[in-house]
Structure 1
Amino acid sequence: MTLLIGDKSRIAVEYSIHNRESFFGCARLWFNNSFIGSLSDTIYLDGYLLGGCYKILSKPMLNDRYSFDNPVKIYESIYDDQLCDDDDLHDLALSYRVNFGTWSDYFNIYSYKLSESTGAILWKLIDRCYDEAEDLINYPSCIFYETFNYSDLIEIMDQLNSIKTQQ
């Protein structure tokens, strides 16, 4: 059985806890009715899920190099720079990368600050992992772009932290 914190149409986390002591389970992070993660992939909810959310909160504003009106172009430019040989461009691109542990094996995820109260997140499924994550089999292959309020993300994180301490 999965539980839900938040609103999938804005921002939410859908999760199940398999081991309360180690706060280990499965989760999907929802932005505007689209999710990142898999309910078939076990993760450390504290280190991977919450850790990735903390990383999102610390992301910088988008560098002028990536200032495009098209989110697909932003994603592709960051992705290309992440793979390039230029150390400065590589490091700049990595400053937007978000790591959610094993989820990051399936998705490329980038985030940046739009203002003091809002952020943006871009992601793309890069590995369908048919044998491991059934909920990703029919996942769209497009680049997703969503904006969100940091206060909504912080509220979800606070509720997850509260669950963690209720052991």
Structure 2
Amino acid sequence: MSVITTASMFQREIDNGICLLTFDRSESGANIFDATTLRDLDQQLDFIEAEDSLEGVVILSAKKSIFIAGADLKTLLHQAQTGEMRAFIAEGQRIFNRLAALKIPTCAAIHGACAGGGYEITLACDWRIASDDPATRIGLPETTLGLIKSGGSDSERQVVFCGGGETARTG
């Protein structure tokens, strides 16, 4: 049996005990994180934690060539100017830590660009599966600016995939 529920940024489908969370900012060509997205993800985690029948979670994107492009740069600029950035980063870390702490297996199904916060949410999952499509590029572009990752979970994850060393060097 399949049950589909749509929140503003996520479609949730339950099929045979697996929760498929599909991220889709319908008003945008890219999936990006802002405060609304984090709030919606937090609400999805409320449901997942309360649903005892679930056996796993898969995070997907509805976009054809972008998994998650990272944080909304307009939001980050505004937060930097108003002093709200630390709170935004702390909230993202709290939510990604919730995802990492789920009692059921989690998997990020990556197709397309996966950058910054998009990469960081995959690190909060137990498993990452990436398509071999040339559009699938994974990295932390902020490292090319001398910045370090700010979101993601506190627990380090081992990421093993072809080109992993290249990702570490070039973002």
Identify whether the pair has TM-score above 0.5, normalized to the shorter chain: no
Bigger strand fraction? 1
TM-score of the superposition, structure 1-length normalised?
A: 0.27
TM-score of the superposition, structure 2-length normalised?
A: 0.27
